[in-house]
Chains A and B, each alone.
Chain A
Amino acid sequence: MAIILPKGTTNYQEMHNGVSIIGISYSDNQVKQYSELVKNACFDSDGQDELNAYISSIGETGFTSTQSILTNIKEWQLGEALAEVHLEQCFSCHFPWSNRRDLKNPKSSLSGADLVGYHNSEFAFGEVKTSAEQKSPPQVTSKRYDGLSAQLNKLCIDTDLRQTIIQYLFFRQKETVKYQEALRTYLKNQHNFYIFGVLVRNTLPNVNDWSYLKNNFTAHKKNKSYLVALYLSFDKLRDCVTSGGES
């Protein structure tokens, strides 16, 4: 049975140049209700085993094994997991392969998108930024190369990037019909997709968080982009996740 989770409190909602901007805050109690799903998205004991297997496989390449890699939960992982769960709950998005185990490669110039899935029978591409910075807008929205605005603009403009992501999704998707439907729509017009920019904040709700994007983000098509800010306590979320939601 599907779990119904709270949708949080909408603090602001507006349209700007065809882009929907929404701010939602979660109470500690609501965060707690999310924690089980978020936890699933962050912990994966198999992940460590596989990493060890990879490390030992290097012996067969003639190279020497790379130094051991430790995994631990980072805020950005929590943020992405929360964003994924929220979009699935509140926007009827579907992400067949979340980046649960994916260790994001910050150096890769074309690493893809944080979230790849479907919305309204079309592809949905999302970028998530997590920031506890008190200043509004936070710098994660405006950084030149990997700020939220730059990344979203790139997703809107760069057809090659989208093609790679769509292919990347192909190798993971399990629901052929859904994938084909979205791809058909996309191939009819390569602007037939949705963009989600998610900002996970450890601050009070503030519409100014989007001021940089309002000036710098250009959507590929009207009514196809959502900028969603989620306001919550990071400490609470981490506690809930690490202790199984018992705190």
Chain B
Amino acid sequence: MITNKILQKIDDHWAVKAVGDDDFRRSILQSVKAKLVSNAVGEQLTLDPTTHILDDADLKRLAMAYEMAAIEGMHDFINHSNDDLYDQFLAGSFRAFEINRVLNDPDDDFAFIFYVLHLSSLACCGDCWTDLKHIYDDKSEKIESILLRQETEWDKQILLCLFTCWVSLFRKNSWNDLSQISNSINQLRKEQAQYEQEFLKSNSNKENQTKAIRLMALYHWAKASELLSLYMLQGDPADIKSQLDKHFNLAIKISADGGDAQLEVLLRWLHACAEQMINGSIWWVARTINSKATKFIEKLSKQAKPLLELLPPQRAALKEMNLLDPAKTAVVVDMPTSGGKTLLAQFKILQAINNFGETKGWVAYIAPTKALVSQITRQLRQDFSPIGIKVEKLSGAIEVDALEEDMLNDEASFDILVSTPEKMQLVLRNHKIKRPLSLLVMDEAHNIEDESRGLRIELLLATVKQHYQAKANFLLLMPYVENAQTLSRWLAHDRNAGLSISLSTSPWKPNERIIGLVTKQKGKKRGDWSIKYKTLITSPKTIHLKGKHKIGVTKPINDVTYSSANLSKLVAACAKNFANRGTSIVVVKTKPNTWSVAKTIFENIDPFENISTNIKLVQNYLKDEVGVEFELIKMLDKGIGIHNSGLSDEIKSLMEWLTEEGELRVLCATTTIAQGINFPVSSIFLQSIEYPYGKKMSYREFWNLVGRAGRIGQDNIGVVGIACDSDEKEKELTHFVQQSTGDLISRLIGILKELDNRGELNNLESMMYAPQWEDFRCYIAHLLNEKKELQATINEMDQMLTNTFGYSELKNTNQNHSEILLEATKQYTQSIAKNMGRVAQADMTGFSVESVKKAAQEIDQLKYKLTTSDWMPQSLFSSTDSKLPDLFSVMFKIEQLNFSHDDTQGRKKSRMADIAKAWIDGKTINEIAISFFEGNDSKKISEVYNAIYSKLANGGTWGLSALASISGLDFEAMSDEQKRQLNLMPAMLYHGVNNEESVLMRMNSVPRSIADSIGNNFKQRTEKRNIATARKYLKSLRNEDWAIYKSNFLTGSEYKKIWQILSGELD
């Protein structure tokens, strides 16, 4: 793969040096970037007149120099005979393509054919084939007109046919396109007799000779094209490279002897290009894995958008860096955003399932957010279900409910389990799954350094190391991490078993990007103002253009004066201006900001001429789920969406789906979207790089977010703008984007360092009771509970702590800190060991020992003793003497449950209980808003969702489940039905339904408003009811079955589609 090193090296090549000095070369490349930006976003962004664009002649000269350097290495590239020249070929092609892509097309049709094929070959050889899609889109009119040409001369007919074939090979649009190649060439064979004789009937013998020579070259080229297409489609023939060599070499030799310089040079490029296509072909890369992988590839190659060729980082990881080396037990992949890391995980998973199939091993896939858990589950299920691999997810609620218990205990229910770290931690620590864990995949593993969740994630990995090390392998996926090697060494079984694959800093990008500051500027006329865009020099080397460029027109939004144009207005104006180019995400600091920015855009943008059925579907869903007056419905008329934590997971998923489908012009989101976005957009405009409470995004989070700007194959340029209103902020932002992302550092080390800086390290034992140590304390309680005995735990503490990233690093880098930590941990262990019952309860519930103690104390203070019947869902959520308000008052006092201060007042505790009851009772969001929040505007709706999804679904369900364990209930005395009801209670609260079948429907993404009625039918028709049979039932429903479920706003088929979207069943 192309590295920065080989790109630097090619600049020292004699041919490149001959063009001019380094400054001149850089000015040409700068000019190329400026042309690229101008071509891509010239309509939205007027470049500063001082941006100097050189003549094409200079650009061509440098392009030729790079191409000559590439040609020098061409033979060695095809024959793999010299590594340096191999690299020179790649780098030369990369640069030559970079320049050639901005040059003008020739007018003549046949010159155009040669030009396009040559440019495409450079792109393929330079690992830029993903850029070809939009290049072909840009040139589609000309290409279509050429493909319609009616040629009478046989050689031209063949050339046109071959052009069509190669356009399909480069575009890779569909399986059909590629399978058509073989048919087209067969058609040529049939027509040969008819046309060739006529073509060679010239009076001049000389002319006939030369024509015949040309035909022979074309026939060999045709055969090579056919072979290549067959291989890309189905991986046959196995000796493809030697067969291609034979036909290309003959075609080249014949055309050379025919004196056809242009054809000869083109064929040489196509030969190299075919070699590179094979190298990146999914068949070539994965040909040695296993039979499951072969079936998987067959499936990928035949899907609607076929996956036939791997992205360069995927190819590099799999082939050049041996991702699938079975001797490597811990692999850390540092990969750029949009580099396609999920596919790498899929291959690794297939390998694990294949290797551990006999022992019924399972794979844990951990994603950081509920949204990503759902997305990954959808994707894995779509890809793996057809080959018999079962994928399940765990709900976002922290505790494991009865239905999930059933699933975890059923050996046949899943091969892959997808979950958030919090939930997986509980499953693994409590050994809920008896089968061996064969692989743990941690997505977005850079969250290890996150201030609030990092330690939890690190300790989850430490838990796996502690309990499952003998068999479990690790795959960590993350962007922009410089010390991937340190992480792989930490997790590996032994020194040599770690593998780090670092690709984030490679020059390959899904697309080019500009990142700049957005500021306002006063105009010359009174009242005039405009938006200026100044690109920044960044650490990942995004495009930098000199000068200040203008976004949109003067007075870019209505009724906003210069002085009232604040940061929100600026980003709104940017989004409005870029609206016709594809979806923009506007990132703002707070939830209310998302609505206000959306309103500004709404007032400044025209409605769609026709509202698409997809948007109408979501609008109808919102009317049904929230209420007809919900503001978002109106916003969608103009293609404006909202994404913040004040919306349900379903609504957020639908917003994401509309974005992915290209239906939205603008998505207004809070900064938290940085943690959950895994789909590309055209532009991103940030009002702020801070989270709501003033904390700045980390560099890695920032780059992960802006890495989504630009869609592979669709935008040549992803645009990122950060609003700025002061010199001070400009300085800060300029500095921010220049920082390198640096090493990933354990939170354990970070916390100790902070204490050391404050001079509090010597008092670590008492500092350990602070909230930031909560996860650590839970981990220690878990270790103690596993060992059951204090002395054994103390004796092995050093060894057990070494399983954490932080402690293992400290032992190497700061022995003093490691010793202090060990000592304080031992003392803490001693203190909690005094009550092993609490330790066991803590380990079982996920609470800390201190939370267990506090909960027990609070429950003791209740004026009555809780009975089994108090805990039954009917009693908790329906009866008039429900104990729910009191239980909330207990929960409010437990910090770990994260209820905010304003929830804890006396009035609010009963209100929270009442909201929970209304929610479970099936009241709509609108009704809950009116009953409990005195209104139903967007702010109130947001408060309802916040109360339900942030409070009830998280702290509420976890707290109730934990309190039930801590409250001293006699589980032995309960009937099986009572136990089941008790275990189902948190799930009902989480999903907002009141019976088991409805929970099963909700777990399978059925909208809440029909969960009860479908659940009821499911109950009547299915005897064995669990998550999998519920999904099977839903999938079996025909359109007429769905037709009976309709509401005022949604038809049965619309419900079906919503379910399909949310469950990933939509084709």
**Cβ A111 vs Cβ B196 within 8 A:** no
C-alpha spacing A148/B52, complex, angstroms: 39
**Cβ B207 vs Cβ A106 within 8 A:** yes
**B426 interface residue, CB < 8 Å from A?**
no
Write out the residue numbers on chain A whose beta carbons fall within 8 Å of the beta carbon of B211: 105, 107
Contact A190/B222 with A55-B216, A168-B265 known, Cβ cut-off 8 Å? no
**Cβ B259 vs Cβ A61 within 8 A:** no
**Cβ B18 vs Cβ A67 within 8 A:** no
**Cβ B68 vs Cβ A167 within 8 A:** yes
C-alpha spacing A67/B258, complex, angstroms: 16
C-alpha spacing A146/B424, complex, angstroms: 76
**Cβ B71 vs Cβ A107 within 8 A:** no
Write out the residue numbers on chain A whose beta carbons fall within 8 Å of the beta carbon of B222: 61, 63
**B769 interface residue, CB < 8 Å from A?**
no
Most chain A beta carbons < 10 A, residue from B193, B219, B268: B219
**Cβ B257 vs Cβ A164 within 8 A:** no
**B534 interface residue, CB < 8 Å from A?**
no
**A1 interface residue, CB < 8 Å from B?**
no
**A170 interface residue, CB < 8 Å from B?**
yes
**Cβ B220 vs Cβ A103 within 8 A:** no
Contact A99/B18 with A58-B219, A61-B220, A106-B210 known, Cβ cut-off 8 Å? no
Chain B residue, CB-CB nearest to A162: B64
Contact A60/B223 with A55-B216, A66-B215, A183-B15 known, Cβ cut-off 8 Å? yes
**B155 interface residue, CB < 8 Å from A?**
yes
**B148 interface residue, CB < 8 Å from A?**
no
User: B780-804 interface mask toward A, CB cutoff 8 Å, 1 = contact, 0 = none?
Assistant: 0000000000000000000000000
User: A194-212 interface mask toward B, CB cutoff 8 Å, 1 = contact, 0 = none?
Assistant: 0000000000000000000
**A110 interface residue, CB < 8 Å from B?**
yes
C-alpha spacing A69/B216, complex, angstroms: 12
The contact size tier of chain A is 35 or more
C-alpha spacing A33/B290, complex, angstroms: 71
Write out the residue numbers on chain A whose beta carbons fall within 8 Å of the beta carbon of B110: 109
**Which of B197-211 touch A at CB < 8 Å?**
200, 205-211
Per a CB cutoff under 8 Å, which of B65, B68, B216 touches A170?
B68
**Cβ A107 vs Cβ B155 within 8 A:** yes
Write out the residue numbers on chain B whose beta carbons fall within 8 Å of the beta carbon of A102: 256-259
C-alpha spacing A57/B206, complex, angstroms: 22
Per a CB cutoff under 8 Å, which of A62, A66, A74 touches B196?
A66
**B192 interface residue, CB < 8 Å from A?**
yes
**Cβ A63 vs Cβ B60 within 8 A:** no
C-alpha spacing A106/B258, complex, angstroms: 10
**A13 interface residue, CB < 8 Å from B?**
no
Chain A residue, CB-CB nearest to B197: A67
Most chain A beta carbons < 10 A, residue from B72, B209, B214, B222: B209
Contact A101/B68 with A64-B193, A159-B57 known, Cβ cut-off 8 Å? no
A54 to chain B, nearest CB (A): 5
**Cβ A159 vs Cβ B60 within 8 A:** yes
Contact A108/B19 with A63-B192, A70-B205, A103-B210 known, Cβ cut-off 8 Å? no
C-alpha spacing A112/B254, complex, angstroms: 15
Write out the residue numbers on chain B whose beta carbons fall within 8 Å of the beta carbon of A104: 210, 259
C-alpha spacing A185/B259, complex, angstroms: 26
Write out the residue numbers on chain B whose beta carbons fall within 8 Å of the beta carbon of A66: 196, 200, 212, 215-216, 219
Per a CB cutoff under 8 Å, which of A63, A112, A183 touches B261?
A112
**B247 interface residue, CB < 8 Å from A?**
yes
Contact A109/B213 with A63-B189, A70-B205 known, Cβ cut-off 8 Å? no
**Cβ A103 vs Cβ B111 within 8 A:** no
Most chain A beta carbons < 10 A, residue from B15, B110, B216, B246: B216
**A243 interface residue, CB < 8 Å from B?**
no
C-alpha spacing A109/B155, complex, angstroms: 13
**Cβ A108 vs Cβ B214 within 8 A:** yes
B384 to chain A, nearest CB (A): 39
**A175 interface residue, CB < 8 Å from B?**
no
Per a CB cutoff under 8 Å, which of B18, B19, B209, B215 touches A103?
B209
User: A99-142 interface mask toward B, CB cutoff 8 Å, 1 = contact, 0 = none?
Assistant: 10111111111111000000000000000000000000000000
**Cβ B214 vs Cβ A58 within 8 A:** no
**Cβ B68 vs Cβ A74 within 8 A:** no
**B407 interface residue, CB < 8 Å from A?**
no
**B1028 interface residue, CB < 8 Å from A?**
no
**A223 interface residue, CB < 8 Å from B?**
no
Write out the residue numbers on chain A whose beta carbons fall within 8 Å of the beta carbon of B106: 160
C-alpha spacing A187/B57, complex, angstroms: 11
Per a CB cutoff under 8 Å, which of A67, A99, A168 touches B200?
A67
**B250 interface residue, CB < 8 Å from A?**
yes
C-alpha spacing A47/B213, complex, angstroms: 12
**Cβ A64 vs Cβ B65 within 8 A:** no
**Cβ B261 vs Cβ A165 within 8 A:** yes
**B334 interface residue, CB < 8 Å from A?**
no
**B971 interface residue, CB < 8 Å from A?**
no
Write out the residue numbers on chain A whose beta carbons fall within 8 Å of the beta carbon of B264: 168, 171
**Cβ B65 vs Cβ A71 within 8 A:** no
**Cβ B209 vs Cβ A69 within 8 A:** yes
Write out the residue numbers on chain A whose beta carbons fall within 8 Å of the beta carbon of B189: 62-63
Write out the residue numbers on chain B whose beta carbons fall within 8 Å of the beta carbon of A110: 111, 114, 261-262
The contact size tier of chain B is 35 or more
C-alpha spacing A138/B246, complex, angstroms: 45
Write out the residue numbers on chain B whose beta carbons fall within 8 Å of the beta carbon of A51: 213, 257
**Cβ B223 vs Cβ A62 within 8 A:** yes
Chain A residue, CB-CB nearest to B108: A109
**A246 interface residue, CB < 8 Å from B?**
no
**Cβ A54 vs Cβ B250 within 8 A:** yes
B163 to chain A, nearest CB (A): 15
Write out the residue numbers on chain B whose beta carbons fall within 8 Å of the beta carbon of A144: none
**Cβ A103 vs Cβ B258 within 8 A:** yes
C-alpha spacing A83/B226, complex, angstroms: 42
C-alpha spacing A39/B260, complex, angstroms: 23
**Cβ A190 vs Cβ B61 within 8 A:** yes
C-alpha spacing A57/B20, complex, angstroms: 46
**Cβ B220 vs Cβ A101 within 8 A:** no
Write out the residue numbers on chain B whose beta carbons fall within 8 Å of the beta carbon of A168: 261, 264-265
Contact A105/B210 with A63-B189, A111-B261 known, Cβ cut-off 8 Å? yes
**Cβ B265 vs Cβ A105 within 8 A:** no
**Cβ A105 vs Cβ B214 within 8 A:** yes
**Which of A9-24 touch B at CB < 8 Å?**
none
**B240 interface residue, CB < 8 Å from A?**
no
**B263 interface residue, CB < 8 Å from A?**
yes
**Cβ B64 vs Cβ A101 within 8 A:** no
**Cβ B68 vs Cβ A54 within 8 A:** no
Write out the residue numbers on chain A whose beta carbons fall within 8 Å of the beta carbon of B114: 110
**Cβ B200 vs Cβ A167 within 8 A:** no
**B691 interface residue, CB < 8 Å from A?**
no
Contact A184/B254 with A61-B247, A63-B222 known, Cβ cut-off 8 Å? no
**Cβ B68 vs Cβ A183 within 8 A:** yes
C-alpha spacing A111/B15, complex, angstroms: 25
Chain B residue, CB-CB nearest to A63: B219
Per a CB cutoff under 8 Å, which of B15, B111, B200, B206 touches A184?
B15
Write out the residue numbers on chain A whose beta carbons fall within 8 Å of the beta carbon of B115: 160
**A180 interface residue, CB < 8 Å from B?**
yes
C-alpha spacing A207/B254, complex, angstroms: 40
Write out the residue numbers on chain A whose beta carbons fall within 8 Å of the beta carbon of B108: 109
Contact A187/B19 with A104-B210, A110-B114, A167-B71 known, Cβ cut-off 8 Å? yes
Write out the residue numbers on chain B whose beta carbons fall within 8 Å of the beta carbon of A164: 261-262, 265
C-alpha spacing A171/B260, complex, angstroms: 13
Write out the residue numbers on chain A whose beta carbons fall within 8 Å of the beta carbon of B256: 102, 171
B395 to chain A, nearest CB (A): 58
Q: A66-B200, A168-B265 are in contact. List 9 more A-B contacts (CB 8 A).
A: A54-B213, A54-B253, A54-B254, A61-B219, A166-B68, A167-B265, A168-B264, A183-B15, A187-B68
17 A-B Cβ contacts within 8 A? A50-B257, A54-B257, A66-B215, A69-B212, A71-B209, A103-B209, A103-B257, A106-B207, A106-B210, A107-B214, A110-B262, A160-B106, A166-B68, A180-B14, A184-B14, A187-B19, A190-B61
Closest 4 CB pairs of A and B: A112-B261, A102-B259, A61-B223, A187-B18
